[in-house]
C-alpha cells in the first residue's frame, strides 16, 4: 500500500491552529483588565450560557436529539450546590463532583425513558420535564421555595476568594476554553464520528458497529454535565438562586442561542450565546424607545429574529460568517500518515460455506413479503439477487442484514444462526453492507465517513478522545480509512465533503465504508440504481477489483445487464419467492425470468 | 371527599378536559399534515378571548391590525412570487384578497360595533378576525420551511409563540379579561348544579371533535389531506397541494383555538400569556395519543383535565408538577412498547 | 404618552451624557416586564416624576428592566454600579430580584432602596443589608389589620389560598406564625397559579373544611378567581385579601361577587376620605396630585407610592451627603447610606418612616389600615 502518496500537505490550517490557543489564552488573560466591569460581567454570563449551549450543540446540532430541558439540569446543579452550601456549609469544591454525579444520574434515568423513542418525543418530554422541575424547585420548602436561597458561599481558589467579576471571568472562560477543546477533540475522534453518524440514522450507524443507544445516552449525559458545570458556577457567582432562571423559558432560550449561532458548530454555541445575551441587554434600552412603553416585547423581536434566521440562514450564523471570512475558506487538508494496520478477522478459505438462507419467511400482517427463500453463498463467490421491483429483494436483504427479524426459517452465517440478531451483531460476525438510498454524512469528509466503518475494530473511549489520548488509535483508523478509499479508487476526493460528490461516487464511498468494517461478506443494496452509464462503469470496475481480491459479495439489483458480467451466480426472486437460480447465462435464457422481467416474450 | 365534591371536580375536570381535547385534536391534525408541533395553539385561545372581550367593550380589536399586517406581508410575498413566475395579471387578485379582506372586516367592525351588542355577532366577528391568522402564519413562516426537519419546524413554532405573546401584550395590555357569558342559567339535577356555560363547552367541543373526526377519517377530501403528511410528492401527484393542505390545517387549528377561547372567556380570566400552559396541557393529551390517534388524544386530554382538577383538590401546590409528569409514565409505556431497533423517523 | 416621552428623554440623556459626571446618578431597576410587570410599570412611572435637581446638583435617572428575572436584575445592578457609577439604586420590584441584587450592592458599596415587601430583605441589618432600605409595607403590615378584624369578629377557623410563587409563599410564611400566636387554626393551605383557569378543586377543599374566614394571598386581577369561585360555590363567610388585591383589575374582574371582602389598604392607593389625623395626610395628597396629574385621575396606587417615597428619601438624604463628598465617589455613596439611616419621623406617601442602624424596614405599623369593598370602592373600616 502506497498510502504516503495520498498525502497532500497543507500550509494554512496547521499554522492557524498553532496560533489559536495562545491567542485565546492571551485574550482570556487580558480582556478583563481592559474592559469595563459591566462588560466583564456580561462576558461571564455569556460564558455560562456558552457551556450549556456547547452541550446542546453536541446533543441537538450534532447528535440530532432536541432538548428543552437543559435549564433544568443547570438548576439541579445550582440548587444542589446552593442547598448543601447554605444548609450544611459544604465547600463548593465538594459540591461540584456531587452536582455532576447527581445531574449525570438524572440525565441517565431521563435517557432511559426517552431515548428509545423516535424524534419528537424527546423535545416534548423535555418540555414537560422543564416545566415540572421549575414548579418542583418553587414548592420544595428546603430549597427556599419560590423565594429562593440566598447567602451561598463564594468560591475560593488557592486561598483567594473570587469576588470581582474579572476573577470570575478568568475561571469561567478557562473552563469554557477547556470545554471547547475537549469537545473539538471529541468530535475529531472515533467516538465523535459515531456521534456525528447518529444523524445519518440508526440503521446506518448500527450497521457500522456503532452502539447508537450508548452514544445517545453518552451525549445526553455529557450535555447535562456541561449544563451542571454552568449551574454550579452560576450559583456561586450569583450567590443567590431561585426558580426563574431554570424555567422552561430559559431552556427554550438556550435552544434559540444555538439555532441563531449555528446548531452544528461548537463555535456556533459561543456565537449564539454572545449574540442573544448582548441583544437582550441592548433591547432593554432600545425597545421602550420603539414601542413607547415597556412590555415583554423582547419576545416579538426574538420570535421574529429566529424566524428570519430559520428562513434565511437555516444552519445559523456561524457557517454564514465562515463563508464571509476569506481565510476561513482555505480548508486545511490534514496529512494521513502511515500507521500500524488494524487487526483483521481470519479469512475463510475459498469455497467454504458462508451464508445459508433456509426457508426464510417474512410476513407483514397478512402480506407475505418473502416466502420461504433458500440460497447459499460460499467464500469468494459473487452472487446476484435479482428481481423486478416489489419482488421482495429489499426485504430479503433486510433479513440478512438484521434490520428485520425473520418470521420463520433460518439464516446462518458460517454455521451460526443470525436471523434474530440485531444489525450490530451481524456486522461483528463479518457482514458489511451499503444502502440503496445513500446514507453518508454529507458535511463530513469522505475520509471521516469511511472511518466510521472502522468503528468497531478499535476501542477508544469518550474520555480518552477528549483528553487526546487517542492519537495513535486515531492514526490507525484514519490510515485504514485512507487505505480503503484508495482501494476503491477515490484517493483524490478523500478530503472533500461527502455531500459534494456525485451519486456514483457516493455509492463507492459507501462500499469503502463497508470495506472498512473488515467484512467477510459484502452486501450491496442496488448499487447501480439511479446511476448514469459512466458511473455504472466505474462501479463495475470497483466490484471487479474486489472480485480479484477474493471478496465474497451479495448484490441485490434489478438491473440485469449490470450484474450479468459481474456475478458468478444469480438468484432471481418474484412475488417473494425464488424464481430461478443458476449461472448468468442460464438465467438470461430462462423463460420464466424473461417472463417476469419483460412481461412475456413474443 | 364527599360525593358532591367528587361530582363537582369531575364536572370541572371534564369541562377543561373537553377544551384540552379540542386543542389536542388540532395539534394532532396540524402535526399529521405539516409535521409542525404547533406550540402557539394556546395563543389562539387567548387571541380569541381577548378579541371577543375587546369587541364586547366596544373597541376595535388590535388583532385587526395584526391581520392587516400579516395579510399585507402574505400579499407582498405572493405578489412577488406571481411577478417572478410571469403571472402579473394575478397580482391584483392576490393583493385584493389579502388586503381587501382585513380592510373590509375593519370597515364592517366600524359599522356594526355601535349598532349591535349581540353576543353572537361578536363571536362571529371574532372568528372572522382570528381564524385567518392561522393560514397567514403558515404561509409566512411554515410554508417556506416545509421541507425542514421536525426540529426546525418546532423551533419556528416556538418563535411564533414568543412573537404572539409579545404582540398580545402590546395590543391588549397586561390586564386579564373575562367575557360575558352566553347564558347565566344554572341547571339543577338532583343535588348538583350545572352551569349552562359548562354544558356549552362540553357540547360544542364534542360536536367539533366529532366533526373533525368524521371529516378526516371518513370524508375523502379529509383523508387525502392526511395523506399529504405521509407523502408530499404523492399527494401532489393526485392533485392535492401540500401548501393548501398546510394552510387548511392551520385554519382548522386557528378555528379550534378561537372557539376554545370564546368558550373559555366567560368561565375564567385569560391573560395575554395564558396560552402557553393551556396549549401544553392539550399537548400532554396529544402525546398520550402518540400524536397520531384522535380518540387516544381526546381521551388523554380528558385525563389531563380530570387529573388537574383532582390534584388542585389534593395537592394544589404540586398541580403542574403532577400534570406534566403524567407524560413520564406515558413515555415509559411507549418506550417499552417500541421496537428497539429498525424503524427510522 | 408623557411617561414614555420623559423616559425616552431620560434614556437619550443617559446615552449622550456619559462624560459629564458631576450629577447624582440614580440607578433604577424595576420589573417592567414579566409576571410582575403590572407592579413594575407604576413604579417606573413614579420615578419619572422625580426631581431633575437636588440641592443644585443635576439628577440623572437610569431605568433598567429586569423582566422579573433574577439573573437580569443582578446584571442590571452590575451595569448600574460599574458602567454608570450609580450613587444609589432604587428597586427592584419583586422579592427574589431585590434579594439577588443585595450582594452586588454590598460589594460595590451602593445604597439600595427596594420596593419589595419581604422583611428578610432588610432584616437583620448585617454587613450586606446595611446597604439596603425599603419603602414597601411588609406582609406583616398587611396581616396586622386583617388579623385584628378577624379576632374582633370572633373568627377561629381560617383557610388560606394564594399564589404558587414567591408572593403567595411570603404571605403564607408570615401569616402562619402570626395566626398561631393569636390562637387561630389554619385549616387549609391551597395554591394556584396566576394564569390558572380554574380553582374549583382548591375552593372545594377549603369549603369542605368549613372555615370562618378565608385568606387570599394574591394580587391584582388574578386574586378575583378564588373570590368568585368561593362565592359561586356558596361560601358566605368573610374573605380577607392581600394589599395587592386593592391594585389593578381585581374589582373590575370580580365585580359584584367581591362586595364586602376585606383587605389592608394604603392611603396612597385608595380614593377615600381619610381622617385629618392621618399622620402623612399631606404627603399622600402631594403624591396623589403629582401622580394623577401625570397619569390620569384614579391612577394612584401604592407601588407608585413606594417608588415615589424612595425618591423622597433620596431628596432628604442627598443634601447632607453632598456636603461630605462629591457624587460618583465611594465616599458619597457611603454618606448617602449613612444619611438615609438617620431619617426618622419622615412622612412619605406610604406612611411614616423611622430608620435606624438596627431597622431598615422603615415604615411604621400604621402604614396600612383595614378596608372593605363597598359598591366597588375600597372604604376604610373604623
Taking CB atoms and an 8 Å limit, are B344 and A113 in contact across chains?
A: no
pLDDT band at A10 (very low <50, low <70, confident <90, very high): very low
| pLDDT at C215 exceeding the cut of 70 | yes
Pairing of strands A160-161, A156-157: antiparallel
Identify the weakest region by mean pLDDT among A594-598, B98-102, B116-120. Answer: A594-598
Q: What percent of chain A has pLDDT over 70?
A: 92
| Pairwise CA distance, residues C145 & A556, whole Å | 87
| pLDDT at A464 exceeding the cut of 60 | yes
Q: How large is the angle between the packed helices B275-288 and B150-172, nearest 10 degrees? A: 150
Q: What is the structure's pLDDT at A202?
A: 82
pLDDT band at A599 (very low <50, low <70, confident <90, very high): low
| pLDDT at A415 exceeding the cut of 50 | yes
| pLDDT at C266 exceeding the cut of 50 | yes
Tell me the per-residue pLDDT of B63-97, one tens digit each, with 9 for 90 and over.
999 999 999 999 998 888 888 888 778 888 888 88
| Pairwise CA distance, residues A197 & A207, whole Å | 11
**Which one of A49-63, A149-163, B211-225, B314-328 scores highest in mean pLDDT?**
A49-63
| Pairwise CA distance, residues A456 & A194, whole Å | 10
Q: What is the structure's pLDDT at A173?
A: 94
Q: What is the structure's pLDDT at A84?
A: 94
Task: List chains adjacent to chain A, taking adjacency as at least 3 C-beta pairs closer than 8 Å.
Answer: B, C
Strand partners, B195: B186
Mean pLDDT of A546-556: 88
Q: What is the structure's pLDDT at A546?
A: 87
Contact B271, B53 (CB under 8 A): no
**Which chain B residues touch A314 with a CB distance below 8 Å?**
148, 152
Taking CB atoms and an 8 Å limit, are A165 and C78 in contact across chains?
A: yes
Mean pLDDT of A526-545: 87
Identify the weakest region by mean pLDDT among A79-83, A497-501, B171-175, C117-121. Answer: B171-175
Q: What is the structure's pLDDT at B233?
A: 65
| Pairwise CA distance, residues A43 & A29, whole Å | 13
Q: Is B48 exposed, middle or buried (0-12, 13-18, 19+ CB in 10 A)?
A: buried
**Which chain C residues touch A139 with a CB distance below 8 Å?**
164, 191
pLDDT band at B344 (very low <50, low <70, confident <90, very high): very low
Contact C188, C205 (CB under 8 A): yes
Nearest chain C CA: its distance from B200 CA (Å): 17
Mutant choice from C69, C80, C89, C192 vs A, greatest count of A C-beta within 10 A: C69
Residue A364 neighbours by CB distance under 10 Å: 11
| pLDDT at A2 exceeding the cut of 60 | no
Taking CB atoms and an 8 Å limit, are C200 and B175 in contact across chains?
A: no
| pLDDT at A206 exceeding the cut of 50 | yes
Tell me the per-residue pLDDT of A248-296, one tens digit each, with 9 for 90 and over.
889 989 998 998 898 889 999 999 999 999 988 887 777 766 665 555 6
DSSP-derived 3-state class of residue C358: coil
Buried-state track C329-363, b at ≥16 Cβ within 10 A, e below 16? eeebbbbbbbbbbebeebbbbbbbbebeeeebbbb
Nearest chain A CA: its distance from C299 CA (Å): 17
One DSSP character per residue, A149-183 reads EE-----EETTEE--SHHHHHHHHHHHHHHHHHHH
Residue B202 neighbours by CB distance under 10 Å: 18
Compare CB distances from A135 to B170, B320, B331 and report the shortest one's residue: B320
Mutant choice from B167, B176, B280 vs C, greatest count of C C-beta within 10 A: B176
Mean pLDDT of B32-39: 87
The question of ipTM being above 0.95 is answered as no
Decide which of C356 and A547 is more confident.
C356
Taking CB atoms and an 8 Å limit, are C68 and A242 in contact across chains?
A: no
Q: What is the structure's pLDDT at C270?
A: 82
User: Residue C19 has what DSSP assignment?
Assistant: S
Mean pLDDT of chain C: 87
Q: All 3 cell numbers of residue C301? A: 396606587
Q: What percent of chain C has pLDDT over 90?
A: 53
pLDDT band at A601 (very low <50, low <70, confident <90, very high): very low
Mutant choice from A62, A113, A423 vs B, greatest count of B C-beta within 10 A: A113
DSSP-derived 3-state class of residue A340: coil
| Chain centroid to CA C82 | 27
Contact A424, A206 (CB under 8 A): yes
Q: What is the structure's pLDDT at C13?
A: 46
pLDDT band at C331 (very low <50, low <70, confident <90, very high): very high
| Pairwise CA distance, residues A528 & A540, whole Å | 9
Identify the weakest region by mean pLDDT among A326-340, B175-189, C6-20. Answer: C6-20
**Which chain B residues touch C191 with a CB distance below 8 Å?**
316-317, 319
CATH 1.10.3470 fits B3-60+113-337, yes or no: yes
- With vertex at residue C277, the alpha carbon angle to CA C273 and CA C280, rounded to the nearest 5 degrees, is 80
| pLDDT at B300 exceeding the cut of 60 | yes
User: Residue A57 has what DSSP assignment?
Assistant: I
Interface contact A141, partner C, CB < 8 A: no
**Residues 280-339 in A contacting C (C-alpha not used; CB under 8 Å):** 280-281, 284-285, 288-289, 292-298
Mean pLDDT of C304-317: 94
Contact A512, A484 (CB under 8 A): yes
- CA distances to B73, C202, C263 from C377, in Å: 47, 28, 12
| pLDDT at A239 exceeding the cut of 90 | no
pLDDT band at A333 (very low <50, low <70, confident <90, very high): low
Q: What is the structure's pLDDT at A193?
A: 92
Q: What is the structure's pLDDT at A3?
A: 40
Nearest chain B CA: its distance from C263 CA (Å): 21
Identify the weakest region by mean pLDDT among A7-21, A220-234, C95-109. Answer: A7-21
List, in order, residues 6 or more apart from A257 with CB less than 8 Å away: A49, A53, A56, A269, A272, A273, A275, A276
| Pairwise CA distance, residues B45 & B274, whole Å | 9
Task: List chains adjacent to chain B, taking adjacency as at least 3 C-beta pairs closer than 8 Å.
Answer: A, C
Residue C121 neighbours by CB distance under 10 Å: 23
Compare CB distances from C201 to B12, B178, B273 and report the shortest one's residue: B12
Q: What is the structure's pLDDT at B231?
A: 65
Q: What is the structure's pLDDT at B244?
A: 84
Q: What is the structure's pLDDT at A391?
A: 81
Mean pLDDT of B193-210: 84
| pLDDT at C17 exceeding the cut of 60 | no
Chain B and chain C share a number of CB contacts under 8 A equal to 89
**Which chain C residues touch A240 with a CB distance below 8 Å?**
70, 74, 96, 99-100, 102-103
User: Residue B231 has what DSSP assignment?
Assistant: -
Residue A532 neighbours by CB distance under 10 Å: 11
Pairing of strands C213-217, C157-163: parallel
- Domains in chain A: ranges and CATH: 35-254 (no CATH), 353-598 (3.40.50.300)
Mean pLDDT of A359-379: 87
Q: Is B239 exposed, middle or buried (0-12, 13-18, 19+ CB in 10 A)?
A: exposed
Tell me the per-residue pLDDT of A473-514, one tens digit each, with 9 for 90 and over.
899 999 999 999 998 888 888 888 998 999 989 999 999 999
Tell me the per-residue pLDDT of C118-172, one tens digit each, with 9 for 90 and over.
888 998 898 889 999 999 998 888 999 999 999 999 999 999 999 988 888 889 9
Q: What is the structure's pLDDT at B343?
A: 39
Mean pLDDT of chain A: 85
Q: All 3 cell numbers of residue C68? A: 422579573
Q: What is the structure's pLDDT at C256?
A: 87
Percent helix, strand, coil in chain A, to 5, is 60, 10, 30
Q: How large is the angle between the packed helices B242-264 and B3-34, nearest 10 degrees? A: 160
End-to-end Cα, chain B, rounded Å: 46
SS (H, E, C) C185-247: EEEEEEEECCCCCCCHHHHHHHHHCCCCEEEEECCCHHHHHHHHHHHHCCCCCEEEECHHHHC
Tell me the per-residue pLDDT of A174-184, one tens digit each, with 9 for 90 and over.
999 999 999 99
Q: What is the structure's pLDDT at A1?
A: 39
**Which chain B residues touch C216 with a CB distance below 8 Å?**
none
Q: What is the structure's pLDDT at A80?
A: 95
Contact B162, B40 (CB under 8 A): no
Taking CB atoms and an 8 Å limit, are B175 and C197 in contact across chains?
A: no
Contact C354, C345 (CB under 8 A): yes
- Domains in chain C: ranges and CATH: 2-137+284-364 (3.40.50.2300), 139-265 (3.40.50.2300)
Contact A442, A457 (CB under 8 A): no
How is chain B split into domains, by residue range? 3-60+113-337
Q: What is the structure's pLDDT at A43?
A: 93
| pLDDT at C111 exceeding the cut of 90 | yes
Tell me the per-residue pLDDT of B318-341, one tens digit each, with 9 for 90 and over.
888 888 887 777 777 776 766 544
Taking CB atoms and an 8 Å limit, are A119 and B331 in contact across chains?
A: no
Q: What is the structure's pLDDT at B339?
A: 52
**Residues 20-39 in B contacting C (C-alpha not used; CB under 8 Å):** none
pLDDT band at B345 (very low <50, low <70, confident <90, very high): very low
| pLDDT at B236 exceeding the cut of 70 | no
| Pairwise CA distance, residues B208 & B252, whole Å | 10
In chain C, which residues touch A (CB < 8 A)?
Answer: 1, 3-4, 7-8, 11, 15, 32-34, 37, 40-41, 44, 64-65, 67-72, 74-75, 78-79, 82-83, 95-96, 99-100, 102-103, 107, 118, 120, 164-170, 191
Amino acid at each position: 500500500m502506497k498510502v504516503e502518496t495520498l498525502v497532500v500537505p497543507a500550509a494554512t490550517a496547521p499554522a492557524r491552529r498553532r496560533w489559536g490557543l495562545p491567542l485565546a489564552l492571551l485574550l482570556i488573560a487580558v480582556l478583563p483588565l481592559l474592559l469595563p466591569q459591566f462588560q466583564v460581567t456580561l462576558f461571564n454570563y455569556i460564558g455560562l450560557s456558552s457551556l450549556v449551549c456547547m452541550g446542546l450543540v453536541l446533543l441537538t446540532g450534532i447528535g440530532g436529539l432536541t432538548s428543552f430541558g437543559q435549564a433544568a439540569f443547570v438548576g439541579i446543579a445550582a440548587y444542589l450546590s446552593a442547598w448543601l452550601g447554605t444548609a450544611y456549609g459544604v465547600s463548593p469544591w465538594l459540591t461540584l463532583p456531587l452536582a455532576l454525579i447527581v445531574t449525570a444520574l438524572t440525565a441517565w434515568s431521563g435517557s432511559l425513558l426517552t431515548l428509545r423513542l423516535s424524534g419528537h418525543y424527546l423535545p416534548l418530554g423535555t418540555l414537560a420535564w422543564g416545566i415540572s422541575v421549575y414548579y418542583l424547585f418553587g414548592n420544595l420548602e428546603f430549597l427556599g421555595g419560590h423565594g429562593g436561597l440566598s447567602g451561598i458561599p463564594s468560591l475560593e481558589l488557592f486561598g483567594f476568594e473570587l469576588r470581582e467579576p474579572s476573577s470570575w471571568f478568568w475561571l469561567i472562560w478557562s473552563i469554557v476554553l477547556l470545554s471547547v477543546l475537549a469537545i473539538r477533540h471529541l468530535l475529531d475522534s472515533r467516538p465523535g464520528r459515531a456521534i456525528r453518524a447518529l444523524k445519518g440514522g440508526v440503521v446506518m450507524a448500527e450497521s457500522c458497529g456503532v452502539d447508537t443507544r450508548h452514544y445517545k445516552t453518552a451525549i445526553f449525559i455529557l450535555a447535562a454535565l456541561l449544563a451542571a458545570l454552568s449551574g454550579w458556577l452560576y450559583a456561586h457567582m450569583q450567590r443567590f438562586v431561585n426558580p426563574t432562571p431554570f424555567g422552561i423559558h430559559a431552556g427554550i432560550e438556550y435552544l434559540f442561542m444555538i439555532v441563531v449561532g449555528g446548531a452544528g458548530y461548537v463555535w456556533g454555541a459561543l456565537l449564539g450565546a454572545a449574540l442573544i445575551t448582548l441583544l437582550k441587554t441592548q433591547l432593554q434600552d432600545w425597545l421602550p424607545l420603539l414601542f413607547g412603553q415597556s412590555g415583554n416585547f423582547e419576545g416579538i423581536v426574538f420570535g421574529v429574529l429566529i424566524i428570519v434566521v430559520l428562513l434565511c440562514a437555516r444552519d445559523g450564523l456561524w457557517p454564514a460568517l465562515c463563508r464571509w471570512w476569506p481565510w476561513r475558506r482555505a480548508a486545511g487538508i490534514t496529512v494521513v500518515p502511515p500507521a500500524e494496520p488494524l487487526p483483521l478477522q481470519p479469512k475463510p478459505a475459498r469455497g467454504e460455506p458462508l451464508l445459508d438462507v433456509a426457508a426464510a419467511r417474512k410476513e407483514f400482517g397478512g402480506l407475505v413479503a418473502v416466502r420461504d427463500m433458500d440460497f447459499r453463498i460460499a467464500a469468494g463467490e459473487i452472487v446476484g439477487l435479482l428481481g423486478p421491483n416489489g419482488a421482495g429483494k429489499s426485504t430479503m436483504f433486510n433479513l440478512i442484514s438484521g434490520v428485520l427479524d425473520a418470521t420463520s426459517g433460518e439464516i446462518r452465517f458460517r454455521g451460526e444462526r443470525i436471523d434474530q440478531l440485531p444489525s450490530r451483531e451481524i456486522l461483528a460476525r463479518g457482514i458489511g453492507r451499503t444502502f440503496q438510498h445513500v446514507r453518508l454524512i454529507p458535511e463530513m469528509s469522505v475520509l471521516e465517513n469511511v472511518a466510521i466503518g472502522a468503528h468497531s475494530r478499535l476501542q477508544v473511549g469518550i474520555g480518552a478522545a477528549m483528553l487526546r489520548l487517542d492519537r495513535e488509535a486515531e492514526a490507525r483508523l484514519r490510515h485504514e480509512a485512507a487505505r480503503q478509499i484508495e482501494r476503491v479508487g477515490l484517493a483524490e476526493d478523500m478530503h472533500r465533503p461527502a455531500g459534494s460528490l456525485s451519486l456514483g461516487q457516493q455509492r463507492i464511498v459507501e462500499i469503502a465504508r463497508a470495506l472498512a468494517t473488515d467484512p467477510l461478506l459484502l452486501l450491496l443494496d442496488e448499487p447501480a440504481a439511479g446511476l448514469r452509464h459512466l458511473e455504472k462503469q466505474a462501479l463495475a470496475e470497483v466490484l471487479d477489483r474486489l472480485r480479484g481480491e477474493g471478496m465474497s459479495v451479495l448484490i441485490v439489483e434489478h438491473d440485469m445487464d449490470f450484474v450479468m458480467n459481474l456475478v458468478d451466480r444469480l438468484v432471481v426472486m418474484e412475488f417473494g419467492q425464488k424464481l430461478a437460480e443458476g449461472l448468468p447465462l442460464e438465467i438470461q435464457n430462462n423463460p420464466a425470468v424473461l417472463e417476469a422481467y419483460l412481461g412475456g416474450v413474443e | 371527599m364527599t360525593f358532591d365534591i367528587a361530582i363537582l371536580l369531575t364536572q370541572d375536570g371534564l369541562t377543561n378536559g373537553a377544551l384540552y381535547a379540542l386543542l389536542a385534536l388540532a395539534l394532532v391534525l396540524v402535526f399529521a399534515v405539516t409535521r409542525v408541533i404547533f406550540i402557539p395553539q394556546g395563543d389562539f385561545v387567548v387571541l380569541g378571548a381577548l378579541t371577543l372581550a375587546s369587541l364586547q367593550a366596544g373597541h376595535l380589536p388590535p388583532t385587526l391590525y395584526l391581520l392587516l399586517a400579516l395579510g399585507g406581508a402574505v400579499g407582498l410575498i405572493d405578489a412577488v412570487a406571481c411577478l417572478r413566475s410571469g403571472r402579473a395579471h394575478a397580482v391584483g387578485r392576490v393583493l385584493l384578497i389579502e388586503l381587501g379582506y382585513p380592510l373590509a372586516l375593519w370597515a364592517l367592525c366600524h359599522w356594526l360595533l355601535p349598532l349591535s351588542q349581540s353576543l353572537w355577532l361578536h363571536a362571529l366577528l371574532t372568528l372572522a378576525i382570528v381564524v385567518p391568522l392561522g393560514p397567514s402564519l403558515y404561509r409566512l413562516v411554515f410554508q417556506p420551511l416545509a421541507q425542514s426537519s421536525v426540529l426546525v419546524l418546532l423551533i419556528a413554532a416556538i418563535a411564533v409563540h414568543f412573537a404572539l405573546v409579545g404582540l398580545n401584550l402590546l395590543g391588549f395590555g397586561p390586564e386579564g379579561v373575562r367575557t360575558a357569558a352566553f347564558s347565566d342559567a344554572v341547571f339543577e339535577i338532583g343535588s348538583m348544579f350545572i352551569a349552562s356555560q359548562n354544558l356549552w363547552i362540553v357540547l360544542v367541543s364534542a360536536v367539533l371533535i366529532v366533526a373533525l373526526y368524521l371529516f378526516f377519517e371518513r370524508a375523502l377530501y379529509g383523508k387525502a389531506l392526511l395523506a399529504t403528511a405521509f407523502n408530499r410528492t404523492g399527494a401532489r401527484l393526485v392533485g392535492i397541494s401540500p401548501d393548501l393542505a398546510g394552510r387548511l390545517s392551520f385554519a382548522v387549528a386557528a378555528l379550534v383555538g378561537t372557539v376554545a377561547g370564546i368558550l373559555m372567556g366567560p368561565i375564567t380570566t385569560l391573560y395575554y400569556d395564558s396560552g402557553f400552559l393551556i396549549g401544553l396541557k392539550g399537548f400532554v393529551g396529544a402525546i398520550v395519543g402518540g400524536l397520531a390517534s384522535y380518540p387516544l388524544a381526546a381521551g388523554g386530554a380528558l385525563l389531563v383535565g380530570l387529573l388537574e382538577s383532582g390534584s388542585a383538590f389534593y395537592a394544589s401546590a404540586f398541580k403542574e408538577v403532577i400534570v406534566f409528569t403524567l407524560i413520564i409514565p406515558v413515555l415509559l409505556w411507549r418506550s417499552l412498547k417500541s421496537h428497539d431497533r429498525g424503524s427510522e423517523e | 404618552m408623557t411617561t414614555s416621552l420623559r423616559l425616552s428623554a431620560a434614556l437619550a440623556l443617559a446615552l449622550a451624557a456619559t462624560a459629564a459626571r458631576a450629577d447624582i446618578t440614580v440607578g433604577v431597576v424595576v420589573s417592567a416586564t414579566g409576571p410582575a410587570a403590572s407592579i413594575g410599570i407604576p413604579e417606573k412611572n413614579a420615578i419619572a416624576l422625580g426631581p431633575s435637581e437636588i440641592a443644585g446638583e443635576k439628577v440623572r435617572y437610569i431605568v433598567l428592566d429586569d423582566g422579573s428575572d433574577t439573573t437580569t436584575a443582578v446584571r442590571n445592578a452590575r451595569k448600574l454600579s460599574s458602567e454608570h457609577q450609580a450613587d444609589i439604586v432604587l428597586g427592584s420590584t419583586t422579592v427574589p430580584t431585590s434579594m439577588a441584587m443585595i450582594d452586588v450592592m454590598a460589594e460595590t458599596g451602593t445604597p439600595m432602596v427596594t420596593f419589595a415587601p419581604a422583611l428578610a430583605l432588610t432584616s437583620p441589618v448585617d454587613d450586606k443589608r446595611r446597604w439596603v432600605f425599603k419603602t414597601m409595607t411588609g406582609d406583616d403590615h398587611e396581616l396586622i389589620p386583617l388579623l385584628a378584624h378577624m379576632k374582633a369578629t370572633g373568627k377561629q377557623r381560617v383557610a388560606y389560598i394564594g399564589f404558587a410563587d414567591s408572593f403567595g409563599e411570603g404571605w403564607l410564611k408570615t401569616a402562619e406564625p402570626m395566626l398561631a400566636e393569636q390562637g387561630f387554626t389554619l385549616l387549609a393551605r391551597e395554591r394556584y397559579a396566576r394564569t390558572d383557569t380554574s380553582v374549583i378543586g382548591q375552593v372545594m377543599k377549603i369549603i369542605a373544611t368549613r372555615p370562618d374566614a378565608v385568606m387570599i394571598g394574591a394580587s391584582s386581577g388574578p386574586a378575583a378567581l378564588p373570590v368568585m369561585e368561593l362565592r359561586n360555590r356558596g361560601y358566605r363567610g368573610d374573605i380577607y385579601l392581600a394589599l395587592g388585591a386593592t391594585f389593578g383589575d381585581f374589582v373590575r374582574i370580580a365585580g359584584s361577587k367581591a362586595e364586602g371582602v376585606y383587605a389592608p389598604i394604603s392611603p396612597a392607593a385608595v380614593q377615600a376620605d381619610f381622617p385629618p389625623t392621618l399622620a402623612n395626610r399631606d404627603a399622600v395628597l402631594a403624591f396623589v396630585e403629582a401622580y394623577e396629574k401625570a397619569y390620569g385621575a384614579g391612577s394612584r396606587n401604592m407601588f407608585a407610592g413606594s417608588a415615589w417615597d424612595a425618591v423622597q428619601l433620596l431628596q432628604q438624604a442627598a443634601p447632607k451627603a453632598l456636603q461630605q463628598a462629591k457624587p460618583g465617589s465611594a465616599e458619597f455613596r457611603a454618606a448617602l447610606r449613612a444619611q438615609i439611616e438617620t431619617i426618622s419621623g419622615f412622612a412619605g406617601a406610604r406612611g411614616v418612616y423611622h430608620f435606624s442602624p438596627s431597622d431598615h424596614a422603615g415604615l411604621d405599623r400604621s402604614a396600612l389600615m383595614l378596608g372593605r369593598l363597598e359598591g366597588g370602592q375600597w372604604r376604610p373600616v373604623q
